[in-house]
A and B are shown apart, each in its own frame.
Chain A
């Protein structure tokens, strides 16, 4: 059941990236997120699944339909880039190999008992610098984008 659901997810994801018309692509994308929600419910993470279906999928659907009003019913034509496909395939092979080599260790570490977990100090303080870097780069991108648009508007 799990494998069947995940296979449908992969097929719908490919469909959402490959379909040339925008509305069927959005429907494929929304269905992908819906099936993912069903998968979470099947995994016993019911709250996460319901959150995925009702809030995440619903919100994204509205936003994407708003995007269609700008792009139009057909996506602009594009050149397929086989080098990028090869790169992402290589990434998949690399990450899968690394994961399969260390899967046993991961399971052992994850199931070992940790005393007194303080959620925030245990999981977020180590990544504080990375979070700060991401936040500052996002801020830079937003400021840069607004300045570009301002220049364009003044022309």
Chain B
């Protein structure tokens, strides 16, 4: 059971990795980052339950707070970039930076 659930968490992490590496629009980039961090929280939750590592729950809270802050900060930067340069994808923003 422990191994199977961890494999699901790895699957979720790989899915997030695919989303991040595809580099599409900003919103999906944030989705992918959140999926990555959710996979990490899932791993921490599973290990806390099955291996009795209850300290992992503390780490899970920390990762959760980090994920929320990351989304807030990222969307703020995205909103500023969109307002100034009208960009929707990271590639467009990179192009603007090189101009």
Contact = CB atoms under 8 A, between A and B. Distances in A.
A63 B31 CA distance: 11
Given A2-B1, A89-B14, A67 B96 contact: no
A133 interface: no
Contact of B84 (A81, A84, A153): A153
Contacts of B10: 92, 95-96, 99
Contacts of A60: 34, 67-68, 71
Contact of B27 (A3, A71, A119, A142): A71
A142 B69 CA distance: 14
A111 B49 contact: no
Nearest to B81: A149
Contacts of B26: 67, 71
Given A76-B88, A88-B18, A110-B47, A71 B64 contact: no
Nearest to B79: A70
Interface in A42-73: 43-45, 47-48, 51-52, 55-56, 59-60, 63-64, 66-68, 70-71
Contact of B58 (A52, A92, A106, A119): A119
Contact of B46 (A43, A76, A111): A43
Interface residues of A, number: 67
Interface of B: 1-8, 10-19, 21-22, 24-28, 30-32, 34-35, 38, 41-42, 45-49, 51-53, 55, 57-61, 64, 67-68, 71-73, 75, 77-82, 84-85, 88-89, 93, 96-97
Interface of A: 2-3, 6-7, 9-10, 13-14, 16-17, 22, 25, 29, 32-33, 36, 39-40, 43-45, 47-48, 51-52, 55-56, 59-60, 63-64, 66-68, 70-71, 75-76, 78, 80-81, 84-85, 87-89, 91-92, 95-96, 99-100, 103, 106-107, 110-111, 117, 119, 122-123, 142, 145, 148-149, 152-153
